[in-house]
Amino acid sequence: MRMEKAKILVTGANGFLGTRLVEFLALAYRADVRALVRDLGRSVRLCRLPVEILLGDVRDERAIERALDGCSIVIHCASGIDATKPHASSTFLGTEIVARAAHLKKVQRFVHISSAAVYGSPGEVEVNESYPLRRRWKRDVYGAAKIAGEQFVHELFLKGLCATIIQPTIIYGPYSAEWSTHPLQVLKTNDYVLPKGGVLSPVYVDDVVRAIVLAAAKPESVGNRYIVSSSDSIEWSYFYQAYTRMGTIGRAFAVTDDEYSRLVRQRKAKSNFAALARLVVQQPEIRKAAAANSVLVWSYNLAKRCLSAEHLSQLRAGHLRGASAPTSRPAETEQSAAFLPGPGLWQLYKSPSRYSIEKAKRELGYQAQIDLKMGMELTAEWARWSRLI
Amino acid sequence: MPARQVFLPISSTSDAPVRIAIVGCGSVVERFHLPASTFVPELSVEFLVDRELRRATTLAALYHVPNVAADFREIIGKVDAAIIALPHNLNAEVSRELLNTGISVLVEKPMAFNIAEGQHLLAATKHSRALLNVGYTRRFGYGVQFIRRALRENLIGRITGFSVEDGYPFDWKSAASEFRLDKIGGGGVLLDLGSHVLDMVMFWFGALTVQSALHDSLGAVEVNAFAQLQTPLGVRGTVELSWERLLRNSAIIEGTTGRLEVEWYSNPATAYLSGSMLRGTVAPEGSNQLVQTFDTMFVEQLREWVRVIRGRSAASVLATGGDAAIVLELVEACRSQGKIWQPPWSSTEREKLSE
């Protein structure tokens, strides 16, 4: 199928992957693109391109019906998770609505962007498309929604929808909030703590775009799912060190699980102490009671030692009371603190699983063309321009 | 064209509030114009006009505005002046029609979508006693005014160059669902943000000429732009604009004996003179306010507008239609002379070659 002759609907078109995809479709393939976005205010990168920008939510059946009008290819990139209402999220409900509408409209090709997260964390193995779908951890809302999305699409494929599923691993590159902006923002001033041994298969955003276009163009892709990644697996600390080489102050270093747990405990204790110290400093009654209570005297004296004079006087004056009271240590000490990933992110970083792209190579003719060195060079250029570094 | 109506100009001796309408009830009106109007007793908002009447009604209830309308023509003969705050492509047409009926207009920037529209609008003022002013609110920044005065008084000697940067990730929550940043709606960063910046630089230096320009429009509107400009005295400087990234958001002016810097999001200006630092402002008399917000700039703008349309003073800070027409010419020059800039990470050539 030729992209140039098709009217293509891209959902989630203002996202990191969606925008780059639209850019390629419009500029490299001169395709007739309809970019569906939920928020026009956050779609400026699309405004440079000769495409139709349509406002609509993938969870709105009528909006999707309008969006699909005249389109022969649908590339469903929209994704959004709401942990409080997982079944109403874009990833879950949105996928169901878009896939069903595409089926009813009998579109010629439906490419669903899922994630390699659907394979969970199966351990030290090379994951391929025959692995069972499962969550990475108990409360893996993202993985669960992506699995459900794939199931909807598969059910509709059995009923005749010409669907292909793309499962990228970790996508990085310019504008990636999670895997480029986040590490750069942290590492700009702080160290980043990572687990020893965890690996990832990073894939530069343009390679994912290439896989999507191949999947849309090749009829033999219908009914299949494809893992899309680079050819190599590397340790997370190595990946983040590529960002530190861009000139950040922070360093990326790996620690054991025990060291991580100790650092988390230390951080919690400090934050509990800071809360107690604030209470003692701010409340005159407690300060009075401190005279008769050795623990409070100890806390107060410690607070005086740990907090800056300016901060202490602000606390005494009540300037930082209530909602405006600081929830972390003062900025000058915060800057030197290392970033500790939360438990979910730690689990992700720890995964030793590798991913096979043999099926995509064999059936789609996919080949990752941008290696880590080149991908990071492009990302560094963008980061400097964006003034992230 | 509607029939020309006879309009009685407001007497300069009258103390009755100037009756105004606000046409367009989008975010800028809700956030700035309406709140600002409550601080200016010399004017009275008589009408709110919006195609979405429900929106006008909601805001009218909040601000005790007695009348609402879906069609701006309903205000003709009932008000003395109007603030026009419509999508960019509608500003000129509505303003022209109102000027033709004798209603003075303060139109949000950009007053028109292109030079031709701007010229038509200016022509309308020639046949009308009504006045055309443009909402280049940034001029009312104390720091911006300080720079103007400092330049006039040669505070930093002969000017050798300037660098202006304005940029932030665009996230304007438009109240109107149809507001678009495109060729037929909102325009690009040069027309939207650039109008403010170029007007501010011309407010300081006079008319500018474009030496070279870059922008990133690839068949639609530009989101990033860069221009090298020249003042009438031959001083060269740069203006960089972005809707994608947080820039310095300041203007730096270099002179032979010092440097001036102003951040319009946090006035006042700062002057660095031979090793010493001087913070300056031109706050109104009696005001001890050094840090100014956009809200107060809108109040000051409305106050001067009322004085101007009452004929009690000429515009000293407030932009005229003529000022805005020059800005439009500069925007078009940046576009037409500008080369397309496609950063390496945005290239799609790699893909085409690899197919």
Structure tokens at A74: 């649908």
Residue A333 is inside which H or E element, if any?
A: helix A331-334
In chain A, what residues touch B340 (CB-CB under 8 Å)? none
**What Cα–Cα distance (Å) separates residue A206 from each residue in A18, A209, A211, A288, B354?**
11, 5, 9, 64, 11
Residues B128 and B234 in one domain: no
Residues A90 and A195 in one domain: no
Which residues 6+ apart lie within 8 Å of B18 measured at CB? B10, B42, B43, B44, B80, B81, B306, B309, B310
Domain with residue B81: its CATH number is 3.40.50.720
Q: Is residue B91 part of a domain?
A: yes
Confidence of residue A117 (pLDDT cuts 50, 70, 90): very high
Q: Is residue A139 part of a domain?
A: yes
Task: Report pLDDT digits (tens) over B164-191.
Answer: 999 998 876 654 445 566 666 668 999 9
* Alpha-carbon torsion angle A186, A191, A193, A197, nearest 10: 100
Task: Report pLDDT digits (tens) over B128-139.
Answer: 889 999 999 999
Residues B209 and B329 in one domain: yes
Residues A163 and A189 in one domain: no
Judge contact between B326 and B207, C-beta under 8 A.
yes
pLDDT for B171: 73
Judge contact between B92 and B112, C-beta under 8 A.
yes
In chain A, what residues touch B351 (CB-CB under 8 Å)? 24, 28, 206, 209-210, 213
- Nearest CB partner across the interface for A44, out of B174, B177, B223: B223
Task: Report pLDDT digits (tens) over A166-215.
Answer: 999 999 999 999 999 999 999 999 999 999 989 999 999 999 999 999 99
Q: CA nearest B355 in A: which residue? A: A210
Q: Do A369 and B350 touch (CB under 8 A)?
A: yes
Residues A280 and A147 in one domain: no
Distance from B28 to chain A by nearest Cα, in Å?
Answer: 14
- If one counts the domains in chain B, the total is 2
List, in sequence order, the alpha helices (H) in chain B.
Answer: 27-28, 34-37, 53-63, 88-100, 115-126, 142-152, 193-205, 294-309, 321-337, 349-354
Distance from B222 to chain A by nearest Cα, in Å?
Answer: 6
Confidence of residue B291 (pLDDT cuts 50, 70, 90): low
Residues A161 and A22 in one domain: yes
Q: Is residue B300 part of a domain?
A: no
Is residue A281 over pLDDT 80? Answer: no
pLDDT for B351: 55
ipTM confidence score? 0.81
Q: Is residue A17 part of a domain?
A: yes
Give the residue from B180, B177, B174, B222 showing the smallest Cα distance to B332.
B222
pLDDT for B289: 56
Q: Do A48 and B223 touch (CB under 8 A)?
A: yes
Q: Do B343 and A381 touch (CB under 8 A)?
A: yes
Residues A130 and A187 in one domain: no
Residues B83 and B220 in one domain: no
Tell me the mean pLDDT in the region B118-141.
92
Is residue A322 over pLDDT 50? Answer: no
pLDDT for A82: 80
Structure tokens at A202: 């990073």
* Alpha-carbon torsion angle A251, A255, A259, A264, nearest 10: 50
Could you please report the per-residue DSSP string of A172-214? ESTT-IIIIIHHHHHHHHS-EEEESS-EE-EEEHHHHHHHHHH
Residues A162 and A238 in one domain: no
In chain A, what residues touch B223 (CB-CB under 8 Å)? 44-45, 47-48
Q: Is residue B167 part of a domain?
A: yes
Residues B273 and B199 in one domain: yes
Residues A152 and A246 in one domain: no
What is the rounded distance in angstroms from the CA atom of residue A161 to the CA atom of residue B336?
47
Residues B108 and B235 in one domain: no
In chain B, what residues touch A213 (CB-CB under 8 Å)? 351
pLDDT for A40: 82
Burial degree of A166 (CB within 10 A; 0-12, 13-18, 19+): buried
List, in sequence order, the alpha helices (H) in A47-140.
Answer: 61-68, 95-104
3-state secondary structure A255-303: ECHHHHHHHHHHHHHHHHHHHHHHHHHHCHHHHHHHCCCHHHHHHHHHH
Domain with residue B157: its CATH number is 3.30.360.10
Contact residues, B window 304-343, toward A, CB-based 8 Å cutoff: 343
What is the rounded distance in angstroms from the CA atom of residue A70 to the CA atom of residue A66?
9
User: Mean pLDDT across chain A, nearest whole number?
Assistant: 86
Q: Is residue B348 part of a domain?
A: no
Q: Is residue A158 part of a domain?
A: yes
Interface residue ranges in chain A relative to chain B, Cβ cutoff 8 Å: 23-24, 26-28, 40-42, 44-45, 47-51, 53, 55, 173-174, 206, 209-210, 213, 369-370, 378-379, 381-382, 385-387
Q: Please indicate, yes or no, whether the overall pTM of this predicted structure exceeds 0.90.
A: no
Lowest-pLDDT range of A104-118, A247-261, B64-78: A247-261
In chain A, what residues touch B169 (CB-CB under 8 Å)? 44
B277 to chain A, any CB pair closer than 8 A? The answer is no
Judge contact between A199 and A95, C-beta under 8 A.
no
Furthest C-alpha separation in chain A: 83
Residues B149 and B261 in one domain: yes
| Pick among A23, A37, A48, A369 to test the B interface (most B CBs inside 10 A) | A48
SS3 content of chain B, % helix, strand, coil (to 5): 35, 25, 40
Residues A239 and A114 in one domain: no
Residues B256 and B229 in one domain: yes
- If one counts the domains in chain A, the total is 2
Q: Is residue B23 part of a domain?
A: yes
What is the rounded distance in angstroms from the CA atom of residue B219 to the CA atom of residue A30?
11
Residues B202 and B112 in one domain: no
Domain with residue A159: its CATH number is 3.40.50.720
Residues A59 and A194 in one domain: no
Confidence of residue B344 (pLDDT cuts 50, 70, 90): confident
Q: Is residue B211 part of a domain?
A: yes
Q: Is residue A161 part of a domain?
A: yes
Q: Is residue A114 part of a domain?
A: yes
Residues B87 and B169 in one domain: no
Residues B193 and B219 in one domain: yes
Percent of chain B with pLDDT over 70: 83
Of B106, B138, B170, the position where a domain reaches its end is B138
Interface contacts A/B by beta carbons within 8 Å: 83
What is the rounded distance in angstroms from the CA atom of residue A296 to the CA atom of residue B24?
60
Q: Do B220 and A47 touch (CB under 8 A)?
A: yes
Select the highest-mean-pLDDT range: A10-14, A37-41, B107-111: A10-14
In chain A, what residues touch B180 (CB-CB under 8 Å)? 40, 53
Domain that holds residue B238: 141-284+322-340
Of B80, B105, B138, the position where a domain reaches its end is B138
What is the rounded distance in angstroms from the CA atom of residue B200 to the CA atom of residue B145?
10
Q: Do A174 and B345 touch (CB under 8 A)?
A: yes
Is residue A64 over pLDDT 90? Answer: yes
Quick one: residue B170, left, alpha or beta (phi over 0 = left, psi -120 to 50 = alpha)?
Answer: beta
Q: Is residue A214 part of a domain?
A: no
Structure tokens at B53: 């009447």
- Nearest CB partner across the interface for A41, out of B171, B217, B350: B171
Structure tokens at A299: 């806390």
What is the rounded distance in angstroms from the CA atom of residue B260 to the CA atom of residue B154?
11
Is residue A319 over pLDDT 50? Answer: no
Tell me the mean pLDDT in the region B9-20.
70
Residues A194 and A262 in one domain: yes
Domain that holds residue A281: 182-200+233-352+371-389
Quick one: residue B236, left, alpha or beta (phi over 0 = left, psi -120 to 50 = alpha)?
Answer: beta
Q: Is residue A364 part of a domain?
A: no
Q: Do A48 and B345 touch (CB under 8 A)?
A: no
pLDDT for B209: 97
* Separation of first and last alpha carbons in chain B: 56
B247 to chain A, any CB pair closer than 8 A? The answer is yes
What is the rounded distance in angstroms from the CA atom of residue A92 to the CA atom of residue A88?
7
Residues B170 and B91 in one domain: no
Of B138, B158, B173, the position where a domain reaches its end is B138
Tell me the mean pLDDT in the region B136-159.
90
Interior CA angle at A132 toward A128 and A133, to 5°?
Answer: 100
Q: Is residue A225 part of a domain?
A: no
**Amino acid in position A168:** P
Q: Do A378 and B188 touch (CB under 8 A)?
A: no
Residues A196 and A310 in one domain: yes
Q: Do B218 and A50 touch (CB under 8 A)?
A: yes
Which residues 6+ apart lie within 8 Å of B45 measured at CB? B20, B21, B22, B34, B37, B63, B65
Residues A289 and A193 in one domain: yes
Residues B256 and B268 in one domain: yes
Could you identify the residue written with the tokens 């008319």?
B207
Positive or negative, the CA dihedral B36, B39, B42, B46 is positive
Q: Do A48 and B245 touch (CB under 8 A)?
A: no
Give the residue from B97, B96, B105, B101 showing the smallest Cα distance to B5.
B101
Task: Report pLDDT digits (tens) over A330-350.
Answer: 233 343 489 999 988 998 999
Is residue B49 over pLDDT 90? Answer: yes
Is residue A323 over pLDDT 80? Answer: no
What is the rounded distance in angstroms from the CA atom of residue A305 to the CA atom of residue B228?
53
Q: Do B345 and A173 touch (CB under 8 A)?
A: yes
Confidence of residue A5 (pLDDT cuts 50, 70, 90): confident
In chain A, what residues touch B354 (CB-CB under 8 Å)? 210, 369
Quick one: residue B56, left, alpha or beta (phi over 0 = left, psi -120 to 50 = alpha)?
Answer: alpha
Q: Is residue B299 part of a domain?
A: no
Could you identify the residue written with the tokens 């003042």?
B231
Q: Do A41 and B220 touch (CB under 8 A)?
A: no
B274 to chain A, any CB pair closer than 8 A? The answer is no
